[in-house]
Amino acid sequence: MKLQSNKKFFLVSFLILYFIPSQSAEFEINFIETFDENYMLEVIQELKYENNIKRIKTFLDQKHWVERYEIKRNFFKPSSINIFSRKPIFIWNNNSFVDKDLVIFPKNQNSISNNMLMVNCPESVLYELFYWIKHPIDFTENKLISINYNSVEGWIFQFEDFEAKLGRDLDSYKFENLLKTIEYLYAKRKNPSIVDLRSNAGISLKYVK
């Protein structure tokens, strides 16, 4: 009888220990490759006193910048939350980030975005452009700063030294011509302000003072 009583005591004790982390454990929050400290501060502020795993999951599931997370329960030290951040490849319309999987998530007003490609275009043509950004083309030493679209001129690629007009439709033929043009300009040491590839008749170079 005493042995059975000890077994029951052990079982009850184990169940109590098992459920403690979900109700009262303290969580250590770890951020993995998070690119913006504003996102980190927001999570810390919201979860620093939270110890309910269900509420933690609900909160993190609502954060589109979170790619995935891991919640680990530890009995003899603080439980932990590992948060993996999405990595944006460009800024869209000045208020959103877009990552390699075409996931769009809000950009905080104070988000760090130095040296990141800027894209301004309607959502209806974003998917067309995304293919070319996801499979980047090496434009030699001339850095691509921004990409803009308007209904009159179509796509405009702004480089450090010049502006390239590609028209409304993007295709490999236009990009091949653009690369050849850039190589020619470097070889001849020419510095046009605008490279116009919209016409099927040829490429136009404009020098604007």
pLDDT, mean of residues 33-48: 87
**pLDDT surpasses 50 at 79:** yes
**pLDDT surpasses 50 at 15:** no
- Distance set, CA 44 to CA 47, 60, 76, 112, 179 (Å): 5, 11, 22, 18, 46
pLDDT, mean of residues 168-187: 84
Per-residue pLDDT at 16: 36
Per-residue pLDDT at 13: 38
Q: CA 87, CA 93: separation in Å to the nearest integer?
A: 17
Q: What percent of the chain has pLDDT over 70?
A: 82
Task: Give the CATH number of domain 117-206; options: 3.30.70.360, 3.30.230.10, 3.40.50.300, 3.40.50.11690.
Answer: 3.40.50.11690
Q: Chain-centre distance of CA 147, in angstroms?
A: 17
Query: Which residue did the predictor score with more confidence, 5 or 142?
Result: 142
pLDDT, mean of residues 30-57: 88
Per-residue pLDDT at 184: 82
Average pLDDT of the chain? 81
Q: With H, G, I as helix, E, B as strand and everything else as coil, classify residue 202.
A: coil
pLDDT, mean of residues 111-137: 83
Neighbours of 24 (CB within 10 A): 9
Q: What percent of the chain has pLDDT over 90?
A: 31
**pLDDT surpasses 60 at 21:** no
**Which pTM does this prediction carry?**
0.75
Q: Where are the domains of the chain?
A: 2-85, 117-206
**pLDDT surpasses 80 at 142:** no
- Distance set, CA 83 to CA 63, 90, 188 (Å): 11, 21, 50
